[in-house]
Amino acid sequence: MDMNELWKELALLADHAKTAVLATMDTKDRPHMRWVTPVILDDRFGSIYMVTSPEFTKVNHVLANPGIEWMFQTTSLDTIITVSGPMKICRNASLCSEVLELVSPRLRTFWKLNENPHEMVVLETIAAKAVFFKPVEGTKETITF
């Protein structure tokens, strides 16, 4: 499997699952994992996006340690894809609007927790490495970007 095939699989999985697990590290190098709503834009190969509030803890984690990891999985857990790489905070209004348009119907929890709905940033991950795992088949492939 090459990186293009893996990225197509990831895009399909992300579109179907609608959620993923994001792992960050705090300033004391303690891991934090949470369910989030990612989006993969067709015209931006190798990047994963999500909307968040600049007030949420994960933003401070990214500022302190931009190295993160994503985990995408099917409901039956027969396909699991992890992606790691640096994450950065984007305040670009156009990008924020594009990402928000795609994920806004799935952000019920975000709207409840974000005290200021006009304050948003996009977190962008640039994929450095991905692992495509099929537990039932016992196969695992690692792709470096």
* Cα 59 from chain centroid (whole Å): 13
Most distant CA pair in the chain, distance: 46
Range with the poorest average pLDDT among 73-77, 105-109, 124-128: 105-109
pLDDT reported for residue 110: 61
Mean pLDDT on 132-144: 97
Mean pLDDT on 49-73: 94
Binning pLDDT at 50, 70 and 90, where does residue 67 land? very high
Burial classification of residue 96, based on how many CB atoms lie within 10 Å of its CB (0-12 exposed, 13-18 middle, 19 or more buried): middle
Mean pLDDT on 99-124: 73
pLDDT in tens, 18-55: 999 999 999 999 999 999 999 999 889 999 999 888 88
pLDDT reported for residue 96: 82
Number of domains forming the structure of the chain = 1
Cα 86 to Cα 41, 66, 83, 117, 145, distances in angstroms = 17, 5, 10, 26, 12
pLDDT reported for residue 112: 60
Instruction: Read off the tokens for 111.
Output: 């709207």
103: CATH: 2.30.110.10
Alpha-helix residue ranges (DSSP H) falling in 50-131: 57-64, 93-103, 108-113
Contacts 24+ apart (CB under 8 A), 113-117: 113/53, 113/56, 114/53, 114/55, 114/56, 115/53, 115/55, 116/53, 116/55
pLDDT reported for residue 113: 64
pLDDT reported for residue 84: 98
Contact predicate 34/71, CB 8 Å: no
Residue 55's domain comprises 3-144
